[in-house]
Amino acid sequence: MSTIPLATGADFEAATYRKVIWRLMPYLFLCYILAYVDRVNVGFAKLQMQQDLRMSDSVYGLGAGIFFIGYFFFEVPSNVIMQRVGARYWIGPIMMVWGVVSSCTMLVRGATSFYALRFVLGVVESGFFPGVILYLTFWFTSRHRARMVAVFMSAVPLSGVVAGPISGWILKSMSGAGHLRAWQWLFLVEGIPSFFAGMVTLYFLTDSPAKAAWLDDSEKQLILARLQEEDGIKRRAGGSHRFGDAFRNPAVWLLCVAYFGITSGNYGIGFWLPQVIKDGITSNPLIIGWISVLPWGAAAVAMILVGKHSDATGERRWHFALSCLLISAGFALSAIPGITGPLRVAALALATIGIMSAHAVFWALPTALLSGTAAAAGIAWINSVGNLGGYASPYVVGTIRDRTHSMTLALAALSAVALVSALVGLSVTRKQVVNQGLGG
């Protein structure tokens, strides 16, 4: 690669990255909103579907979580395939298929069909999130990455802001229309946009800077040079690059444990918050939808601020650990026996803020340790193993509810798991990341 002209100074570099950000991030953000809505809208559908299909909380929890079993088995091969075929021709079809599968959840008639469709949805969607995290490494160095991940993942809380009122309105207004129950309309209406977004992705997404017709030669050269410089630094520092390196690196396994904890909290909120609001405040689905906006809205703001501050200071370790401690504190407060419904939701809002703040910083950790094929495999493996928390959490919560008819013990368990994530995060970043100048 030729040397970058001296004329391409700080202003040019800043303008180039702004151009990339505005081209890629709003669209990826929108796609993740659609993905997350299709993943967790079962939490709202439960308010009516559970009674119609005579499901216990254990059956619902297992069905909600079995999504992540399919996710687990197919994430690593999916990410390796995406690195070879390109993001556009991998992510686009994935979105189209998951839109169809999500809509088909309207056809479930019992536990078996519910489990099957949730499993298939997990298989199909397994390539999206880790694929995008990997895709961001094709464009951004670690200097920008926590903020970009925070922007991308702010789709999670904002999907709650958007989908809560919409789902509540569908459940309140659509029952009986077209001889369908309201929860069936919910799956149909919220699945269709993903299909059309997948079609757009085939034409809109650019695989890499070298293929970006919307960048001029000097802009392409700058981005590729910065990525090459960072890759060289990782190699000289002994960073992992080959496929097998991801599985031989102890830090990768510890990061799996840390991610398991924050994912357990994430889906504890995502799959059960509507039920908590129903139990403690109101049974009106429209009001439930609007109340659910509050925790997710606060978390959306917090994660952007935390990700920006982490990038500005270069500090990852304590940003992650303190976010996990906030998760633990929020769940612990919400588990206090006899706590009122509004106070429990307020405590869960603190936990949600911690969850999304931890996510904003987390993905800067493995991408600082890994590059090349090892990054593709490592990102997918951490996400696969960590997301088993999305299986364990709703199932355990549902089982505890069936046996105790209370959320107290379940919320206390989520608090303990988040505390473990904080401690593991402090350990792995001290041993691995700080040595590379990326921790605090």
Q: What tens-digit pLDDT sequence spans the chain (440 residues)? A: 444 443 457 888 889 999 999 999 999 999 999 998 998 899 999 999 998 999 999 999 999 999 989 888 887 788 888 888 889 999 999 999 999 999 999 999 999 999 999 999 999 998 898 888 889 889 988 778 767 877 888 888 888 888 889 999 999 998 888 889 999 999 999 999 999 999 999 999 999 999 999 999 999 999 999 888 877 665 655 555 555 666 667 788 888 999 999 999 998 898 889 989 998 899 899 999 999 999 999 998 898 888 888 888 888 889 999 999 999 999 999 999 889 999 999 999 999 999 999 988 887 777 666 656 666 667 778 888 888 898 899 899 989 988 988 888 999 999 999 999 999 988 886 654 444 433 33
Distance between CA atoms of 153 and 414, rounded to whole angstroms? 21
- What burial letters (b/e) apply to 254-275, b meaning 16+ CB within 10 Å? bbbbbbbbbbbbbbbbbbbbbb
Helices vs strands, H then E, count in the chain: 20, 0
Nearest-Å Rg of the Cα atoms of the chain is 21
pTM for this predicted structure: 0.79
Q: Which residues contact 194 (CB under 8 A, 6 or more apart)?
A: 34, 35, 38, 95, 96, 98, 99, 102
Residue with tokens 């926590």: 146
Q: Which residues contact 84 (CB under 8 A, 6 or more apart)?
A: none
Distance between CA atoms of 159 and 172, rounded to whole angstroms? 19
